[in-house]
Amino acid sequence: MRFPRMAGESCAAQQSVIECHAAMSIEGKLTELGITLPEAPAAVAAYQPWIRTGNLIFTSGQLPWRDGEIAFAGKLGSEVSDEDGYQAARQCALNAIAQLKAATGDLEKVCTPTFPGPGSSRKSELEKQFPSNSNQYPECHQG
């Protein structure tokens, strides 16, 4: 459910923080968290960065691209530290969300992306910014 705001009205003018957060767009919530969504990276091999089938969008080849270069390369635990591995996975997730935006034109059309892999059983800070699956949204996953 969206809470309307008057033109020029800030979130602080609303009745509660919950209403403010609910009224924000997904990109607004990401910005509030200090997360900048990159441009969707172009495919660098013979694959499609995303494909849509029905109400599902699948992404592929989401590497830790940042500013046109691989931000982290190497084997986790030897050439790449655990912290850099976390940052690499985070960059891959941001790139996947950028691909979802490229596929839909608007992140407000996306519901509950999922990011498979280690630790994916708990919702990440990124996943929490999307509406959860309910009767008003079709089930959709990214992976």
* pLDDT single digits (tens) 99-129: 999 999 988 888 766 666 555 445 566 666 6
Residue range 5-53, pLDDT digits in tens: 444 444 554 444 445 545 678 888 888 888 888 999 988 888 888 999 8
pTM value surpassing 0.85: no
Range list for CATH 3.30.1330.40 in the chain: 37-129
Q: Which residue in 130, 140, 132, 127 sits closest to 89, CA to CA?
A: 127
Quote the pLDDT of residue 108.
87
Q: Which residue has the tokens 């800030």?
A: 10
Q: Quickly name the fold that domain 37-129 has.
A: 60s Ribosomal Protein L30; Chain: A; (3.30.1330)
Residue 78, C-beta contacts closer than 8 angstroms, at least 6 positions apart:
none
Say if residues 99 and 49 touch (Cβ distance below 8 Å): yes
Q: Phi-psi category of 32—alpha, beta or left, where left has phi over 0 and alpha has psi -120 to 50?
A: alpha
CA angle, 137 then 138 then 141, to 5°: 110
